[in-house]
């Protein structure tokens, strides 16, 4: 009798221990699976290719429409090193990436100033690359020779980017950070170079700029950046 009671008690004890353990293992496996899937898809979202100065993003539209070579906007001088990525706004509300590209291309004949950028992002999120990444752009003197420049279009007169422009900007900057081994500290505003109020909304609202940089950071695991 005594032995049988003890056996029953020990069986009950081992059952109490086993069931929560199984639950814990199942929960751990599920958490690891969900986390792995999250990392996989978030990385996949920002995959890119860089080929002879042209960048392509897997899930965002990038069109290479290079400017006609000319001394005013595309001098074809070599960009030998990249220490920073500079964000601008076009200072011209409700204009498209194509119309800003036409302006830069027109400098070849108008000769009014020297100006350009590597990229212009349309309000609809389309990214135009107008200068190859192995050439300098004239966007933020005196840092033209060690930076990549991105012009952003906008609709709101306060200079805030549309959501589509903002999402494309994050994807493009994250790809460039990865390609050139830069971190979010190397992503700057035109304002940080010269004090110019550019990009206006993100100079007047420094918290929005900080938030943008936090979004760029995401998680950096073994050199690969995840959102
Ligand atoms: Zn600027």
Structure token pair of residue 128: 């135009």
The pLDDT of 21-41, averaged and rounded, is: 86
The CA 44 to ligand 1 mean position distance, Å, reads: 31
Write the pLDDT tens digit of every residue in 84-120: 999 999 999 999 999 999 999 999 999 999 999 999 9
Q: Which residues surround ligand 1, an ion (CB under 5 A)?
A: 88, 190, 198
Write the pLDDT tens digit of every residue in 181-221: 999 999 999 999 999 999 999 999 999 999 899 888 876 55
The CA 83 to ligand 1 mean position distance, Å, reads: 17
CATH class of the domain comprising 48-226: alpha beta
Write the pLDDT tens digit of every residue in 124-175: 999 999 999 999 999 999 999 999 999 999 999 999 999 999 999 999 999 9
The CA 165 to ligand 1 mean position distance, Å, reads: 16
Q: What is the mean pLDDT of the chain?
A: 90
What is the rounded distance in angstroms from the CA atom of residue 220 to the CA atom of residue 227? 9
Tell me the domain boundaries of the chain: 1-45, 48-226
Per-residue buried b or exposed e for 110-131, using 16+ beta carbons within 10 Å of the residue's own CB: eeeeeebbbbbbbbebbbbbbb
pLDDT at 76 > cutoff 80: yes
What is the rounded distance in angstroms from the CA atom of residue 183 to the CA atom of residue 147? 14
């Amino acid at each position: 009798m005594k032995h049988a009671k003890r056996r029953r008690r020990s069986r009950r004890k081992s059952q109490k221990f086993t069931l929560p353990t199984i639950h814990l293992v199942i929960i751990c496996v599920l958490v690891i699976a969900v986390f792995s899937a999250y990392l996989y898809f978030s990385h996949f979202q920002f995959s890119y290719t860089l080929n002879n100065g042209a960048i392509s993003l897997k899930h965002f539209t990038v069109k290479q429409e290079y400017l006609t070579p000319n001394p005013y906007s595309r001098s074809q001088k070599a960009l030998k090193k990249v220490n920073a990525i500079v964000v601008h706004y076009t200072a011209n509300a409700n204009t498209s990436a194509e119309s800003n590209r036409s302006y830069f291309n027109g400098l070849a004949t108008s000769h009014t100033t020297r100006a350009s950028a590597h990229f212009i992002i349309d309000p609809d999120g389309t990214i135009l690359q107008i200068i190859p990444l192995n050439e300098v752009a004239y966007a933020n003197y005196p840092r033209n020779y060690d930076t990549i420049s991105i012009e952003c279009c906008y609709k709101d007169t306060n200079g805030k980017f549309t959501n589509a422009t903002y999402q494309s900007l994050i994807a493009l900057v994250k790809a460039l950070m990865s390609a050139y081994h830069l971190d979010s500290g190397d992503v700057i505003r035109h304002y940080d170079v010269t004090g110019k109020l550019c990009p206006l909304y993100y100079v007047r609202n420094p918290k929005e700029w900080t938030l943008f940089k936090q979004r760029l950071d995401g998680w950096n695991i073994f050199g690969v950046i995840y959102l």
